[in-house]
Amino acid sequence: MEMHQVRYFLAVARTLNFTRAAEECHVAQPSLTRAIKLLEGELGGDLFRRERPHAMLTPLGERMFPLLKQCYDRAQSARALAAMINDGEVGALKLAVSGSIELGLILSHVNELRKSFSEIELKILRGTGPQIVEYLKSGDAELAVGTSIGETWDRLDSWKLFDECFDIVLSRSHRLGSQETIDLDDLKPERFLLRNHCEKCGDLAAMLRTQGLNADHRHEVSSDQDLMTLLDANIGIGFLPRTVNAPQSLVRTTVKGLELERDVCLYGVAGRQRTPIAATFIKCCAPRTGKKGPVESYFNASVNSSIVMRLR
Amino acid sequence: MIDRGRVGPGLGELMPEFSLPDENGQLMSLSSLLRFGPAVISINRGHWCPYCRLELRSLAEIHNEIVRLGAGVISIMPDSARFTGSYVAQNDLPFPVLSDIDLGYSLLLGLIFWVGPEIQQLYKEAGVELEKYHGNQGYFLPMAAKFIVGRDGRVKARQVNIEFRERMEPQTLIATLQQLRIG
């Protein structure tokens, strides 16, 4: 059974007209008829009943239509994928990144992506956790980077990029700014700065409350830039994920009893077919446990085992 | 150069690209394999086929020598990762087995055939559940075949097993890879 035979069959099944199908497939009608006859020979029966100028599907034809279409579509997309990879012609990577994540954190993955595609196009959208879920739902973004957004919508696939803890950040001129260690009691009279754009904001407030600290009368910001500005002016005490940079003028430390962690993950909508660039980006973001891709793993394993064989 | 069977990519032709999942669900492409060296691509009928198992075991036996000659091996079969995973483990296969989902790649190669209703019945009676293994009701199968593909992406040797008990002998395979090394 060959691809062109299946293509012609699908064209006749769709148009119900041998002449029109031949035109669509850019072949002479006798060639198309001959190909369909070969297919009928292989399937052991007629696929069409000809009532000139029309053609009707026989019961066998009707049964085989969805099966052959499924197989053909799969082969077509394989062919298209190969062409895209080889020509370096790919669509854009549409990525929604949570406001609490610095873009620099995924740059190494983006660079990895550039090894597979000669030209890449990036479309970066920003938003809070709920906003980036909306981008995924609407298709404005194909993938998203954030934390804990899987908890708001269960139709997400996720791949963990890394986990990190939060530091306490305050101005050097704060009364606690030059203290060796800060403990919970020191923080009792303090007001905190919470980042609204951070998915962990709620958890943070809850943790403060549990430790008897002032969670309700607090400052709130919607960007890290604003956080730094306020901290610089010695307004409040803030929390920052370890990977988010802060100027040297601020003090970063940890406080026992105020431990908060987050998992930063890559997200995609479950069940949706991925574009080649998105599929490759997912592969590039595979957990950084030193795990190699499947091809590298296979070859490393083979080489190692053959070395062992020779040594024996 | 071995060239048996008149279907499928011919000698000197470019082997079509694929990007198929291995038993862990990770995608492997032909171009990524060829970056390391020539590839021996074994098209197999399924984890249920006793002849294919013999083939793959014999490939496993000469695998070290194949690797020493700078090449790699992969098997491609229609069965989903659910079935290829345990298959690789049970048979101690040192190379990946990729799932040709919906037999798209086999169709691209022109190696696909339809298991007619009589054989379907025989398979069912023998406990071979193609629908389950493939995840579809097409009852298509690939003709077993072997292709040796050079780093330039072209077919250097091939055998398509129209008679499914035939296969490319290990000695022939090794000899071809040795020649590729020199050339």
Query: Cβ of A138 under 8 Å from any chain B Cβ?
Result: no
What mean pLDDT comes out for the span A117-143?
89
Of residues A128 and A303, more confidently modeled: A128
Q: Please give the C-alpha separations between residue B165 and each of A22, B55, B59, B168, in angstroms, as whole numbers.
A: 38, 10, 15, 10
Same domain as A117, residue A67: no
Contacts of B177 (CB under 8 A, 6+ apart): B38, B40, B66, B69, B70, B71, B148
Select from B33, B101, B108 the Cβ nearest to the Cβ of A295: B33
CATH class given for the domain over B40-54+72-183 = alpha beta
DSSP-derived letter for residue A151 is G
Question: What is the distance, to the nearest Å, from the Cα of residue A240 to the centroid of all Cα atoms in its chain?
Answer: 24
Q: Do B32 and A301 touch (CB under 8 A)?
A: no
Q: What is the pLDDT of residue B1?
A: 44
Say if A298 falls within a structural domain.
no
Domain holding A185: CATH number?
Answer: 3.40.190.10
What mean pLDDT comes out for the span B148-156?
93
What mean pLDDT comes out for the span A51-58?
86
Q: Is the pLDDT of residue B28 over 70?
A: yes
Q: Do B16 and A42 touch (CB under 8 A)?
A: no
Same domain as A176, residue A130: no
Give the integer Cα–Cα distance in Å for B39 and B42.
9
Q: Is the pLDDT of residue A287 over 70?
A: no
Q: What is the pLDDT of residue A288?
A: 42
Residues of chain A found within 8 Å of residue B119, distances taken between Cβ atoms: none
Q: What is the pLDDT of residue A180?
A: 86
Same domain as A49, residue A193: no
pLDDT band at residue A197 under the 50/70/90 scheme: confident
Say if A300 falls within a structural domain.
no
Q: Is the pLDDT of residue B183 over 70?
A: no
Strands (E), chain A: 48-51, 54-57, 93-98, 122-127, 143-147, 156-171, 192-195, 219-221, 237-241, 250-253, 261-269
Domain holding A19: CATH number?
Answer: 1.10.10.10
Same domain as A178, residue A48: no
Residues of chain B found within 8 Å of residue A279, distances taken between Cβ atoms: 27
Number of domains in chain A: 3
Q: Do A82 and B16 touch (CB under 8 A)?
A: yes
Q: Do B64 and A309 touch (CB under 8 A)?
A: yes
Say if A302 falls within a structural domain.
no
Query: Cβ of A3 under 8 Å from any chain B Cβ?
Result: yes
Mean of per-residue pLDDT scores for chain A = 85
Q: Is the pLDDT of residue A59 over 70?
A: yes
Residues of chain A found within 8 Å of residue B104, distances taken between Cβ atoms: 71-78
Q: What is the pLDDT of residue B166?
A: 59
User: Could you read off the pLDDT of A60-78 as tens digits, one per residue?
Assistant: 999 999 999 988 988 887 7
Query: Both tokens of residue B66?
Result: 């194949």
Mean of per-residue pLDDT scores for chain B = 88
Query: Both tokens of residue B80?
Result: 């989903």
Residues of chain B found within 8 Å of residue A299, distances taken between Cβ atoms: 36, 67, 72
Asked if residue B1 lies in contact with residue B157, where contact means CB atoms within 8 angstroms, the answer is yes
Q: Do A306 and B68 touch (CB under 8 A)?
A: yes
User: Could you read off the pLDDT of A227-276 as tens digits, one per residue?
Assistant: 999 999 999 999 999 888 888 889 999 999 889 999 999 999 886 777 77
pLDDT band at residue A173 under the 50/70/90 scheme: very high
Say if A103 falls within a structural domain.
yes
Q: What is the pLDDT of residue A291?
A: 47
Residues of chain B found within 8 Å of residue A88, distances taken between Cβ atoms: none
Query: Both tokens of residue B139?
Result: 């009852």
Say if A310 falls within a structural domain.
no
Q: What is the pLDDT of residue B172?
A: 85
Q: What is the dihedral of CA A220, A190, A262, A94, to 10 degrees?
A: 20
What mean pLDDT comes out for the span B145-150?
94
Q: Is the pLDDT of residue B161 over 80?
A: no
Q: How far is A249 from chain B (nearest CA, A)?
A: 46
Contacts of B118 (CB under 8 A, 6+ apart): none
Same domain as A154, residue A80: no
Say if A210 falls within a structural domain.
yes
Chain B residue with CA closest to A279: the answer is B27
Say if A297 falls within a structural domain.
no
Q: Cα angle vertex B65, ends B62, B69, to 5°?
A: 140
Percent of chain B, pLDDT > 90?
Answer: 50
Q: Which domain, by its residues, includes A20?
A: 3-87
Q: What is the pLDDT of residue B5?
A: 57
Say if A311 falls within a structural domain.
no
To 10 degrees, what angle do helices A107-116 and A276-284 make?
130
User: Could you read off the pLDDT of B87-117 as tens digits, one per residue?
Assistant: 999 999 999 999 998 899 999 999 998 998 8
Asked if residue A25 lies in contact with residue A8, where contact means CB atoms within 8 angstroms, the answer is yes
